Amino acid sequence: MRTRIRRWQVVATSGVGVLSVVASLLGLFRPGHYLDAPAFRPQLFAQDVTMLVVGVPALAIGLWFSVRGSLRGRFVWLGALAYMTYMWASIGLQVAFNQFFLGYVALFCLSVFTFVGGVVTTDADEVAETLVGDLPKRLYAGFLLFVAAGLAFLWLSELVPATLAGTTPRLVEEVGPQAMASHFIDLSIVVPALGLSSLWLWQGRPWGYVLAGVGVVFGAVLAPTLTLGTFLLATGGAVTVSFVSLAFTVVPALVAAALAVTYVTALPSNSGSEGVGEVGGRA
């Protein structure tokens, strides 16, 4: 692999992992940690569990192999960082103020800057060279576009009628105003990012291959969180979850997991021998 992970990225990623464990353990075992509406707490607990069981291990595994020069490891690392960025942005905006608020700020800050730094220092030409002819780009591009369009429709179908009628979306009435955090993040960042990834991949641009890989690995890591959280909300009875919302939340994430496996296995399995450093050999 021509691109090497930087030392600061290793340190920052380690910090994200440690702080994520601390935050999740506090959420699960510290009495009164979450001061949110009771209807919303099962989803927070689901996020804590899946963070410990899936998110942190995926981040650690990706970092471990990325440090050793594995291109496969790099994409697991980037996908896990995308997951951390998304989750800590959501939690920081959704959770009522508690004594770990500054911890959420630190987690989001470390996650987003490490993620962006990791993406922009990835050799897109190298990735495209290894995948052209082996990756069904139209399948991946179509899936990313479908998810972007479906997610936009799902959230706008709640927001537009309420906006035109001058009323409050039902989810806000049931959970509180923090319920709109996911809508805000998805519509402003996730949907445009997926749409752009789809377009660039369809056109065969090198960065399309990179962003598509990050997107499906992100979806794979996020799948258990979405599945467990949606199941708990749907069975709790306090929040109304339609069948369409349930299906579209869970099924695309599971498909993304399958596509992530195909994507990662299409990358070369060999690892470089240079370890941690800078592109071009600078330490």
Contact between 282 and 151 under an 8 Å Cβ cutoff? The reply is: no
* Res 281: pLDDT: 40
pLDDT in single tens digits along all 283 residues of the chain:
667 899 999 999 999 999 999 999 999 999 999 988 787 888 899 999 999 999 999 999 999 999 999 999 999 999 999 999 999 999 999 999 999 999 999 999 999 999 999 999 999 999 999 999 899 999 999 999 999 999 999 899 989 999 999 998 888 887 778 888 999 999 999 999 999 999 999 999 999 999 999 999 999 999 999 888 877 777 765 666 667 777 777 788 889 999 999 999 999 976 554 456 554 344 3
* Res 240: pLDDT: 64
Q: Residue 16's closest CA among 122, 140, 113, 133?
A: 113
Contact between 95 and 178 under an 8 Å Cβ cutoff? The reply is: yes
* Res 282: pLDDT: 40
Amino acid 217 reads: V
User: First-to-last CA distance in the chain?
Assistant: 16
* Res 222: pLDDT: 93
Distance of CA 83 to the CA centre of its chain: 3
Angle at 197 (CA atoms; ends 74, 266), nearest 5 degrees: 45
Please give the model's pTM, rounded to 2 decimal places. Answer: 0.92
Q: Which helix (H) or strand (E) holds 59?
A: helix 56-67
CA distance 115 to 165: 39
* Structural domain boundaries in the chain: 7-266
* Res 272: pLDDT: 54
273 CB neighbour count, 10 Å cutoff: 7
